[in-house]
Structure 1
Amino acid sequence: MIEWIYVKRLWDYLEEDVMPEDITTKFLEGIKARGVVKCKDSGILAGNRFVIPFLNYLGFSNINGEKDGSEVNKGDVVLLFEGNADVLTVERLILNFLGKLSGIATITNLMVKRAREVNPNVRISGTRKTTPGFRLFEKYAIEVGGGDPHRYNLSDAVLIKDNHIALYGNIEELIKRVKSSVSFTKIIEVEVSSYEDAIRAYKAGADAILLDNMKPYEILPIVNELKGKVILEASGGITPDNVVDYARTGVDIISSGYTTHSSRSLDFSLDVEKI
């Protein structure tokens, strides 16, 4: 059922590209075609889970595709489908969609592998730095790459950030107020930027502590003090180039917006064959 909810999203994206009509492809009416999507890159495939039911919904047939999470290389065929000349109408949407999601899955997978070489249990997590209207797909791609999606929205968990504390005025009192009211199903995480605030948040009852924009050498004493007592998450400016340094500190979670806002799309192409 959930795939069909996503199919509606893809329909909206197609409408953006097609309305009111494809004024070029309409002149090819009656011609039967096969679409062959090939990878021109190397990485982790993501997106076929949604593209395949979408193509089926549009009436295309003989649809076959590689599974999400598969390693793909230059020249690999990742998707085949047949229909009329409308193969060309959906071409750009499919390539953009697969390219974006596969790029996120690929860079996430790279960061996971690098981090776990030095910290086998660490999780690489996403953030809410996502494309408006596209978050569900981007979070899915993070999972395909072996990462953790983190919060999908503001109702998933309590995350008390520096601006919340600045407005309320007292970190301990705010944590206690939240704990007395929020459902037991929601964890309470507190963002800090110093050793002292991390200790205060822990003593006030936080379930998780987000170490924001701190250097690895600043994080290490906090890990030494609180490891195993509370979930420790490092965040802020973490990329494939420095993820190993943060993983070495022993934190439980490394969250990075890089996977969604700075990942490079994988390159795919679509060739058509007349049938």
Structure 2
Amino acid sequence: MSTAASIPLAVPAPLGTYAHLLPPSWKAIITAWLAEDTPSFDYGGFVVGETLEEATLWGKSEGVLAGVPFVNEIFAQLGCTVEWHLEEGAPVLPTSETPKIKVATVRGPARCLLLGERVALNTMARCSGIAWKSRRVLVKARQLGWEGIIAGTRKTTPGFRIVEKYGMLVGGVDPHRYDLSSMVMLKDNHVWSKGSITQAVHAAKSTAGFALRVHVECQSLAEAREAISAGADIVMLDNFTPQGIADAARALRDDWARETGEGARASGVVKRCLVEVSGGLTEENMAESLCPDVDILSTSAIHQGTPIVDFSLKIQKRS
């Protein structure tokens, strides 16, 4: 794994606060998390009572801080306050000299601090881990000179998708479609059930209207050409070899160049369909699949099986 010292961590700042993206329903999810964690009596809470205490949130492994609004709401629902010492998206970089970083101070009744502790730590550890992995993959692509879009996938955890997609955003990558209603993605099963790519695309276009893009998973250059002819907005070259990606993407570029007239490639062709690459792509092997004729590289490696960032919450010890 790459070390933090070798990775430039800066990415363009968002034009707004990511918390402003969250839907009205998200706070109810946190209420459910708290109910799941303490479904009946709070025996540990009985021990500590409701004396007002102050706890420090420590970052103990390298990463990117993500999940701030979730942590804020967890403790708010328990009558506690959080004072952040790092901004969301900032690197958390412990060293041998400073093995833990002071990330935040949480204040409130002891019982309530402990009710929120594990829910908050679990949420932030996972969200920050995804942000850290996303940041590393994005930075590596830029270091290799590729300026396309790095995106996640819909292979997220049921009930936790909003946190995982949020982590991708904080890490600087595109979260891809959020759900089945966000974009029309036609995969092999859709095509096989309908009979052909052309029939599937036409059926999708008949109801999706102008506002939704139609995205088609393709197993060959011929399928990509059929999808484009049928009106697809995005073609995904799925599980192609690195050389196959380069050849197919360049062939599609040549197709557009011919359609737009002689010399179009030299002046930059305005493409009428985006090219996405996916399938088995990781931080370690993605360099093989980066080429200038590819617009989007999507991978679940930035959010499936990614390590967490280690945080702890410690109430100040009484003297």
What is the CA deviation profile of residues 135-181 of structure 1, one whole-angstrom value per residue up to 9, with x for unaligned ones? 11111110100110111111111111111111111212222232233
SS at match of 2:25: helix
Cross-structure match for 1:155: 181
Corresponding residue for residue 43 of structure 2: 23
1:258 is aligned to 301
Identity of aligned residues (%): 34
Match of 2:291 in 1: 248
Structure 2: unaligned runs, 5 residues or longer = 1-19, 95-99, 254-270
- State the alpha-carbon separation in 2 of the partners of residues 163 and 53 from structure 1: 40
Residues 16-95 of structure 1 mapped to structure 2, 5 A cutoff: 16-61=36-81, 63-74=83-94, 75-86=100-111, 87-95=113-121
Shift of 1:62: 5.7
Whether the 8 Å CA contact 1:34–1:83 is kept in 2: the answer is yes
Which ranges in structure 1 are unaligned for 5 or more consecutive residues?
A: none
Distance in 2, matches of 1:62 and 1:149, equals: 27
- In the other structure, the counterpart of 2:260 is none
Write the letter of the residue equivalent to 1:113: V
- Is 2:223 aligned against 1:197? yes
Secondary structure in 2 matching 1:181: helix
Aligned residue pairs total: 275
**RMSD in angstroms over aligned alpha carbons?**
1.8
Q: Hey, what's the Cα distance between the residues in 2 that align with 1:76 and 1:145?
A: 19
Q: Does the 8 A contact of 2:152 with 2:298 survive in 1? A: yes
Q: Contact 1:126/1:142 (CA < 8 Å) preserved in 2?
A: yes
Secondary structure in 2 matching 1:63:
strand
Q: Give the letter aligned to residue 84 of structure 2.
A: N
In the alignment, what sits opposite 2:282?
Answer: 239
Take 1:179 and 1:25, find their aligned partners in 2: how far apart are those partners? 56
One-letter code aligned to 2:310: D
TM-score, structure 1 length as denominator?
0.93
Question: Offset of 1:274 from its aligned partner?
Answer: 5.1
**Bigger relative contact order, structure 1 or 2, given CA contacts below 8 A and separation 6+?**
1
Structure 2 CA distance for partners of 1:174 and 1:270, relative to 1, 3 Å: same
Q: Residues 170-221 of structure 1: CA distance to partner in whole angstroms, max 9, x if unpaired?
A: 2122222322332100011110011111111112221100111111111111
CA distance in 2, matches of 1:249, 1:239: 18
1:226 is displaced (CA, Å) by 2.2
